[in-house]
């Protein structure tokens, strides 16, 4: 039987790519499309997507909420909910371009919205938690609607198709961001649902992921203890929630995340000096439920930077490079060389070794997440 | 007085052509089954006394002996079975409560055998433990929900006390008294070698075992035998025993004949007196009383030891476990009805409690629903027979498993189920020095180390097959399980899908 995401845990293979200009300079989506297009063979046309940061400078304090609707009824219901909880500054269809390979697209809408202050106040949550709760609520409890992006000054664009067609469809060449990630999907069993494509996002966190995590259900049942609900049953969803909880709710610095997701072996920890040993031990013990096993290479995007990470055994390919102020990550080296011939440095990070690229403190890129 | 209707349960088959009348069987049998008849110049057997412990079979140098069921051919009846009839005969004759040793032999569902494990194919690679690191070590104890950082950005959170295990297995509670010192010592040596723990049971810690105390879980049960401050501080964890899977709702009874000088000193009771553990702890009549005991023990040990509460798997186990977490326990051990015992009333053993698989699943799910699973570690016990049972228990949600019967079998136990007679021919469940010296702790501990090393290898292989390289990535990972031959309700309680789904 063929289940939609949300009914069954589906295995995936994939390609990922990411580019960031650490000087905060903006560049169009053309490069990332070209990079991910080179890895065409790693996808099978059942999903492609992008996350772009710095693309909405005209809406510096408004959450850009991107939604897929199956029909107008769903849109009506969700809009009624959004209007009750947000001040909607702009509501529009996300512009798309006709593409012969992209068919049966849902209604794709975006809202630039500010949470209603009084409602945030009575909710008992801070603003971001309030927005996150609203997003999770819509995704769990509204039929035929799926919020696929909800950050400030960033946006996800995804759908069923090869990633280069998806990029073309969303006209990403018209957007300018300082950081881009992309994903081409090779699911082994999916009816092809737009919401199931990557990246998965919550607030400004986005994850593109190549791999299949064997620890999925351990991670899912762990994160669901803390008021998250995994409605899609995809690896990216659970990893995004884990990252959100650890970085936002628990306010741990970004460099601790790989010590949790791809914790060093106990043997290695035992060899550390006393202070590090205690730190690593505590992180591993407390966040045992967030240890991710099985092959993965991910790029976790957020306002102000991204982190690329492999599983600790390095069961998926991932290459990193630098050229000037730009940092590149991709499943294959060729996908980087395709768009930048003159690299200063290119290397293959070891399993569990993060590559963290942050935009310079002084660059004016609008909203920035504190991750240090 | 009427004649006895009781017949032997076992028949001793002796091949006369092989028997050399060396009389080994006679010397080995504490039940006095074998005897040399000089007039007949042959070995004869009093089969009424035979418990089928297989000692003579194993020891006979010429393989002359076999034991088999006594061919009592009652008229076939699926309802009035031989066992049902014999038990009535015994009670009609003796007027007593039926006693049994070891776990229930009843043909009730063993859910482990109805769950199949997953393995990686194509979409993710299986991992070869011979080539890649594979982690099976676990930490038992309360874990905070998050860590907090100090002003300098380093981790400020201090972990509450934990027990570290090299693999998710511990030897379960068997007291000195119910088993011999040699048996306990064998487990102590093995535990220390393996980096796991043994459990004193409620019999106190014998002075000879003090060198293994770091590997000891010290138990506080309703009889409070052998409990004093040094004892509490000696081990790596304190366990409050509320109940036991083999006999939920009742206490224990060590007959006075097993209380020799050594047992008496260790238990701090007079020699030769019965050691009665009451059914409830008489200072725990409710959950708030349990909280007081937990914190009394923590106070007494300066909050340096995790406190475990062991309960029998009963109908309302999930709610009880939730209460125990909120009462401050760091670890909960759930003991299923198939769990072993030195002695239990047969009717309790076979009819009270629930299968541990269902109890474990219910408790793990409930604690997660309440968001308190992180605050406690779960130990699953009650008839863990092999490494696959352990892997399945961890996938359901256990942090570790207790084993007892398996350990005894490794040491020589042949599951004859008559531990309470004190005549254990294998030197395990007895205090008779003539018998206990048959169990050499050096050799028996080696057998235990062999067993658990083999299990650890198997656990690693199964983890690797599933594409995992750490046991914590398996904990509660129920997608790794599929049910076979289970109905929807059973699947729902276990929280797993059926094979093929």
CATH of the domain at B81: 3.30.70.20
* Average pLDDT value for residue range B267-293: 92
> What are the tens digits of pLDDT across the range B91-132?
999 999 999 999 999 999 999 999 999 999 987 889 999 999
CATH of the domain at B370: 3.20.20.70
- Residue B158 touches partner A, C-beta closer than 8 Å: yes
Q: Which residue of B has its CA nearest to A292?
A: B473
Residue A346, beta-bridge partner list: A321
- Residue B178 touches partner A, C-beta closer than 8 Å: no
Its pTM stands at: 0.94
Q: Does A192 have pLDDT greater than 90? A: no
Tell me if B131 is assigned to some domain: no
**What pLDDT was estimated at residue A2?**
46
Q: How far is CA B432 from CA B341, B404, B422, in A?
A: 19, 21, 8
- Residue A351 touches partner B, C-beta closer than 8 Å: no
Q: Would you tell me which residues 17-36 of chain B have a C-beta closer than 8 angstroms to some C-beta of chain A?
A: none
User: Are B365 and B442 part of one and the same domain?
Assistant: yes
- Rounded to a whole number of angstroms, the distance from the CA of A208 to the nearest CA of chain B is 17
CB-CB under 8 Å, A286 with B143: yes
CB-CB under 8 Å, B470 with A267: no
Report how far apart the first and last C-alpha atoms of chain B are (Å, whole number).
Answer: 64
Contacts of B160 in chain A (CB under 8 A): none
> What are the tens digits of pLDDT across the range A98-127?
988 888 899 999 999 999 999 999 999 999
> How far from chain centre, in Å, is Cα B244?
10
Q: Which residue of A has its CA nearest to B473?
A: A215
- Which of A188, A222, A267 has its CB closest to that of B123? A188
Can you give the C-alpha Rg of chain B in angstroms? 24
Pair of tokens at residue B128? 């070869």
Could you tell me the pLDDT band of residue B17, with boundaries at 50, 70 and 90? very high
Could you tell me the pLDDT band of residue B181, with boundaries at 50, 70 and 90? very high
Tell me if B113 is assigned to some domain: no
Q: Is B19 exposed, middle or buried (0-12, 13-18, 19+ CB in 10 A)?
A: middle
- Residue A371 touches partner B, C-beta closer than 8 Å: no
Pair of tokens at residue A362? 């002084």
**Cβ-Cβ contacts under 8 Å for B36 (sequence gap 6 or more):** B21, B23, B26, B42, B43, B44
Pair of tokens at residue A101? 């390979």
Tell me if B123 is assigned to some domain: no
- Rounded to a whole number of angstroms, the distance from the CA of A289 to the nearest CA of chain B is 7
Active site residue A14: yes
Q: Report the percent of chain A where pLDDT is more than 70.
A: 95
**What pLDDT was estimated at residue B387?**
98
* Average pLDDT value for residue range B303-322: 97
User: Are B64 and B198 part of one and the same domain?
Assistant: no
Report ipTM for this prediction: 0.91
Q: Report the percent of chain B where pLDDT is more than 90.
A: 91
CB-CB under 8 Å, A217 with B479: yes
* Average pLDDT value for residue range B144-155: 93
Residue B117 to residue B115: CA distance in whole angstroms? 7
What is A12-358's CATH number, 1.10.20.10, 3.20.20.70, 3.60.20.10, 3.30.40.10? 3.60.20.10
- Residue B453 touches partner A, C-beta closer than 8 Å: no
CB-CB under 8 Å, B469 with A313: yes
Could you tell me the pLDDT band of residue A7, with boundaries at 50, 70 and 90? low
Which of A213, A293, A372 should we substitute to test contact with B (largest number of B Cβ atoms within 10 Å)?
A: A293
**Cβ-Cβ contacts under 8 Å for A169 (sequence gap 6 or more):** A96, A97, A99, A102, A105, A159, A161
Could you tell me the pLDDT band of residue A167, with boundaries at 50, 70 and 90? very high
Domain ranges of chain A: 12-358
- Residue A216 touches partner B, C-beta closer than 8 Å: yes
Q: Among A75, A51, A45, A13, which Cα is nearest to A192's?
A: A45
- Which of A9, A252, A313 has its CB closest to that of B479? A9
Tell me if B346 is assigned to some domain: yes
Residue B307, beta-bridge partner list: B238
Q: Are strands B138-140 and B163-165 parallel, antiparallel or unpaired?
A: antiparallel
User: Are B210 and B332 part of one and the same domain?
Assistant: yes
CB-CB under 8 Å, A224 with B159: no
Q: Does B134 have pLDDT greater than 90? A: yes
- Residue B469 touches partner A, C-beta closer than 8 Å: yes
Q: Does B294 have pLDDT greater than 80? A: yes
- Rounded to a whole number of angstroms, the distance from the CA of A76 to the nearest CA of chain B is 33
CB-CB under 8 Å, B146 with A286: yes
Catalytic residue among A14, A145, A207, A246: A14
**What pLDDT was estimated at residue A6?**
54
Tell me if B108 is assigned to some domain: no
> What are the tens digits of pLDDT across the range A292-345?
998 999 999 999 999 999 999 988 899 999 999 999 999 999 999 999 999 999
* Average pLDDT value for residue range B459-479: 96
**What pLDDT was estimated at residue A10?**
56
Could you tell me the pLDDT band of residue B256, with boundaries at 50, 70 and 90? confident
Tell me if B359 is assigned to some domain: yes
CB-CB under 8 Å, B475 with A279: no
- Beta-carbon-side half-sphere exposure of residue B307 (alpha carbons within 13 Å): 27
> What are the tens digits of pLDDT across the range B347-381?
999 999 999 999 999 999 999 999 999 999 999 99
If one counts the domains in chain B, the total is 2
User: Are B74 and B203 part of one and the same domain?
Assistant: no
CB-CB under 8 Å, A250 with B477: no
Name the residue range of residue B379's domain.
138-143+165-498
CB-CB under 8 Å, B469 with A312: yes
Tell me if B127 is assigned to some domain: no
Contacts of A218 in chain B (CB under 8 A): 472-477
Residue B158 to residue A286: CA distance in whole angstroms? 10
**What pLDDT was estimated at residue B162?**
97
- Rounded to a whole number of angstroms, the distance from the CA of A314 to the nearest CA of chain B is 11
Q: Report the percent of chain A where pLDDT is more than 90.
A: 81
Tell me if B5 is assigned to some domain: no
**What pLDDT was estimated at residue A212?**
85
* Average pLDDT value for residue range B130-135: 93
**What pLDDT was estimated at residue A1?**
39
């Amino acid at each position: 039987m063929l289940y939609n995401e949300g009914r069954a845990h589906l295995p995936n293979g994939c390609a990922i790519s990411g580019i960031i200009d650490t000087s905060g300079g903006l560049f169009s989506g053309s490069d990332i499309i070209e990079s991910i297009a080179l890895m065409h063979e790693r996808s099978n046309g059942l999903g492609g997507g992008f996350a772009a940061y710095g693309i909405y400078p005209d809406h510096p304090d408004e959450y850009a909420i991107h939604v897929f609707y199956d029909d107008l009824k769903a849109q009506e219901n969700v809009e009624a909910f959004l209007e009750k909880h947000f001040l909607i500054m702009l509501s529009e269809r996300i512009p798309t371009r006709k593409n012969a390979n992209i068919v049966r697209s849902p209604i794709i809408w975006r809202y630039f919205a500010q949470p209603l202050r009084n409602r945030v106040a009575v909710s008992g949550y801070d603003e971001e938690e309030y927005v996150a709760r609203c997003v999770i609520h819509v995704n769990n409890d509204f039929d035929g609607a799926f919020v696929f992006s909800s950050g400030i000054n960033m946006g996800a664009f995804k759908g069923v198709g090869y990633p280069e067609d998806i990029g073309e469809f969303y006209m990403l060449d018209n957007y300018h961001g300082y950081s881009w990630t992309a994903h081409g999907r090779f699911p082994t069993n999916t009816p092809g649902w737009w919401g199931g494509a990557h990246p998965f996002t919550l607030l400004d966190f986005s994850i593109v992921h190549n791999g299949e995590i064997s620890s999925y259900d351990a991670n899912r049942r762990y994160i669901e203890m803390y008021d998250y609900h995994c409605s899609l049953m995809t690896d990216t969803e659970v990893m995004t929630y884990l990252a959100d909880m650890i970085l936002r709710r628990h306010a741990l610095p970004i460099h601790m995340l790989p010590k949790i997701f791809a914790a060093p072996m106990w043997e290695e920890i035992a060899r550390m000096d006393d202070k590090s040993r205690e730190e690593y031990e505590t992180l591993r013990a407390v966040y045992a439920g967030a240890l991710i096993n099985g092959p993965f290479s991910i790029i976790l995007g957020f306002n102000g930077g991204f982190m690329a990470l492999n599983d600790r055994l390095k069961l998926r390919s991932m290459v990193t490079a630098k050229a000037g102020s730009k940092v590149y990550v991709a499943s294959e080296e060729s996908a980087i060389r395709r768009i930048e011939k003159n690299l200063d440095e290119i290397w293959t990070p070891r399993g569990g070794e993060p590559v963290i690229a942050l935009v310079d403190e002084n660059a004016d890129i609008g909203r920035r997440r504190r991750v240090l | 007085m009427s004649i006895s209707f009781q017949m032997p349960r076992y028949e001793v088959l002796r091949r006369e052509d092989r028997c050399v009348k060396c009389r080994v069987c006679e010397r080995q049998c504490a039940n006095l089954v074998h005897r040399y008849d000089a007039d007949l110049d042959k070995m004869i057997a009093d089969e009424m006394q035979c418990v089928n412990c297989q000692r003579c079979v194993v020891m006979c140098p010429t393989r002359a002996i076999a034991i088999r069921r006594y061919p009592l051919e009652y008229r076939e009846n699926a309802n009035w079975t031989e066992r049902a009839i014999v038990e009535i005969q015994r009670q009609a004759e003796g007027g007593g409560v039926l006693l049994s040793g070891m776990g229930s032999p009843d043909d009730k569902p063993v859910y482990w055998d109805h769950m199949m494990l997953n393995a990686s194919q194509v979409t993710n690679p299986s991992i070869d433990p011979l080539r890649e690191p594979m982690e099976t070590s676990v930490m038992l104890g309360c874990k905070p929900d998050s860590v907090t950082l100090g002003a300098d950005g380093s981790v400020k959170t201090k972990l509450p006390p934990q027990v570290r295990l090299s693999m998710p297995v511990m030897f379960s509670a068997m007291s000195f008294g119910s088993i011999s010192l040699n048996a306990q010592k064998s487990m102590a040596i093995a535990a220390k070698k393996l980096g796991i723990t043994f459990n004193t049971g409620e019999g106190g810690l014998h002075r000879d075992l003090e060198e293994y105390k770091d590997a000891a879980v010290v138990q506080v049960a309703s009889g409070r035998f052998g409990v004093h401050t040094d004892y509490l501080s000696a081990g790596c964890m304190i366990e409050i025993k509320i109940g036991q899977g083999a006999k939920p709702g009742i206490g224990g009874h060590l007959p006075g004949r097993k209380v020799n000088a050594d047992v008496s000193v260790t238990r701090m009771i007079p020699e030769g007196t019965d050691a009665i553990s009451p059914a409830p702890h008489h200072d725990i009549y409710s959950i708030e009383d349990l909280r007081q005991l937990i914190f009394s023990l923590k106070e007494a040990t300066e909050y340096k030891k995790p406190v475990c509460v062991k309960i029998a798997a009963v109908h309302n186990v999930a709610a009880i476990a939730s209460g125990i977490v909120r009462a401050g326990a760091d670890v909960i051990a759930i003991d299923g009805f198939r769990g072993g015992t030195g002695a239990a009333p047969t009717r309790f053993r076979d009819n009270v409690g629930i299968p541990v698989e269902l109890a474990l699943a219910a408790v793990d799910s409930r604690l997660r629903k309440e968001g308190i699973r992180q605050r406690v570690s779960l130990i699953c016990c009650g008839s863990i027979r092999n490494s696959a049972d352990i892997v399945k228990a961890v996938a359901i949600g256990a942090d570790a498993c207790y084993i007892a019967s398996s350990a005894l079998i490794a040491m020589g136990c042949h599951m004859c189920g008559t531990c309470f007679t004190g005549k254990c021919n294998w030197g395990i469940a007895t205090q008779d020095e003539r018998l206990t010296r048959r169990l050499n702790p050096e050799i028996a501990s080696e057998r235990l180390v062999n067993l658990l090393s083999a299990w650890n290898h198997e656990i690693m292989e199964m983890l690797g097959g599933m594409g995992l390289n750490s046991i914590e990535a398996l904990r509660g990972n129920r997608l790794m399980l599929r049910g076979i031959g289970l109905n929807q309700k059973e699947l729902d309680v276990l929280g797993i899908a059926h094979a093929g789904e």
